[in-house]
Amino acid sequence: MPNTKRLFTPEELRFAQSVGRISLSNQFLPERVQLEREALGKEFVESGADWNVLKTDESPLTHPNIAAVIKRSEILAENLRARWPKDGRGISREETTPYVDVASFWLYHAYARQFDTLILESENRRRDAAAQKQDNARAGSQPPGKLTIRPDFYGAFRNTLERLLRLPGITILDTEPAPHLFAYAFQLRRAFHYIHHALAGGSKPMVRLRAQIWESIFTRDTGRYRRALFASMHDYATLITGPSGTGKELVARAIGLSRYIPFDARCGEFSDDYTGAFFPLNLSALSPTLIESELFGHRRGAFTGALADRAGWLEICPANGAVFLDEIGDVDTAIQVKLLRVLQSRAFQRLGDTKTRVFSGKIIAATHRDLPVEIRRGRFREDFYYRLCSDIVRTPSLREQLDDAPGELETLTAHIARQLLGDDEAPPFARESAAWIRKTLGNTYAWPGNFRELEQCMRNLLVRGEYHPASLLAAGTDADDWNTLIGSGRLSAEDLLRRYTRLIHAQSGGNIEETARRLDQDRRTVKARL
């Protein structure tokens, strides 16, 4: 094609098209690294190539492969811009698309560090404001005012954007103006920050989880999301399922804190402070009346103790925020009906009030229960479930992660040790903890409490130098009840087998192989019953 040959060399076109695919890829799938390999060819560095698998303290921007793609994109974008015909004649879509892709990729990464600094500054301001609010409350003074996010580099971003993309024949800025592209870039950096830095581990289940979170935020097609879906993702509720202690709230926070927030170029600030737009509520910890009050708000006198009007989370939550309903499977069916109305029509009323209000944010819910089973038992409404399940994320158990990659134990203990002790003291304690766990609990311990149990195990080791799993301590109690349960006919055959398997597993020190040997059962059968 003559025009393509004039504007691009074959090698430049191949590279630009690869960069376009990188830009649209899920950053937490193995395909992302394969696309980097494809773009760089012989320049690709294999050592540590899977930067998107493990959480690291080092910024991925410094990774040699990413740095090389960024640098080559900058050089190519500037060269193509210099060759661009002044009247734009003869430029085809086959040429403009790869140019826009490579220029946009470089622009995003050119300001990535400034976005990262903005994220950290926003988080620090939120923490300082929370501390100031407590101090003011104790002193009886006014709470601090509304926080705003006001970046000082939008002008530079816009000027670079205009220089690169305001060329004859390129129309992207007509449909996607600079403030929108700036807001989208900020969202990309926040999503990467909260997924990459909050979730530790490199097992296949954890890689899949990170990729699921990315899709929950941007869908499977980031181009379509950027062009059309960014303003309507609040219409898609997210349901997070998985065993207790597997980090469902971390997943919810990553999604809730990574929503698209419009940027107002006139006043130079984002429309909302995202750090204060995530509202978590554990439904299993509250009575039905308190749940309704927290969610919907109440009028004065609506119930005993309602001494003043109060706005609930659904009313306070901004359009770009999220309300997280933890343990949704435990909520009363009467509240399910009210939440169903919120999901269907976005309408709700405060307790004791007749005025209809509108919820504009996103609902994220989580449960450790099997909701289809709860529906069959009549404890969960089917219509409510089908309003929740437009986007489902499943968190893997700790046992799943360790079965896939036994070395994850060292990765996870190092992650927890840093949280407990900081960078200097963490490495030796992490090694001590992993060694104690392998020696005392064994490599096949079930970890019924999942990641939360591992955290508490390490706290015990830090304070006492030992840890006694609750599953082992409770084994005798379960056994003592058997005669009563069997005599009253309250145990099914499957319940009996599961209880006995847990008893032998506890007596075997959490070792699945030893449990299977004593029960004369296949290891997989034992794991299924546990």
Q: How far apart are CA 94 and CA 48, in angstroms?
A: 34
Strands 347-348, 357-358: pairing is antiparallel
Report pTM: 0.85
Confidence of residue 60 (pLDDT cuts 50, 70, 90): confident
pLDDT of residue 482: 57
Confidence of residue 352 (pLDDT cuts 50, 70, 90): confident
Confidence of residue 475 (pLDDT cuts 50, 70, 90): very low
pLDDT of residue 7: 85
**Nearest in space to 49 (alpha carbons), one of 39, 61, 68, 64:** 64
Confidence of residue 493 (pLDDT cuts 50, 70, 90): confident
Residue 11 has pLDDT above 50, yes or no: yes
Residue 48 has pLDDT above 60, yes or no: yes
Q: Which residues contact 195 (CB under 8 A, 6 or more apart)?
A: 28, 210, 213, 214, 254, 258
Question: What average pLDDT score do residues 187-192 get?
Answer: 96
Please provide the distance, in angstroms rounded to a whole number, between the alpha carbons at the two ends of the chain: 63
Count of Cβ atoms closer than 10 Å to residue 465 Cβ: 9
Answer whether 36's CB lies under 8 Å from 44's CB.
Answer: yes
71-80, long-range: CB < 8 A, 24+ apart = 72/15, 72/39, 72/40, 73/19, 73/102, 73/103, 73/105, 73/106, 73/109, 74/106, 74/110, 76/12, 76/15, 76/16, 76/102, 77/102, 77/103, 77/106, 77/164, 79/12, 80/7, 80/8, 80/12
CA dihedral angle for residue 226, residue 229, residue 235, residue 238, rounded to 10 degrees: -50
Confidence of residue 58 (pLDDT cuts 50, 70, 90): low
Q: Which structure tokens are listed for 478?
A: 């379960």
Domain residue ranges in the chain: 2-116+149-200+218-229, 248-394, 398-467, 473-529
CATH superfamily of 248-394: P-loop containing nucleotide triphosphate hydrolases (3.40.50.300)
Looking from the CA of 63 toward its CB, the CA atoms found within 13 Å total 22
Mean confidence (pLDDT) of the chain: 88
Residue 50 identity (one-letter amino acid)? D
DSSP three-state, residue 281: strand
Residue 125 identity (one-letter amino acid)? R
DSSP state of 326: E
Residue 478 has pLDDT above 60, yes or no: no
Residue 18 has pLDDT above 60, yes or no: yes
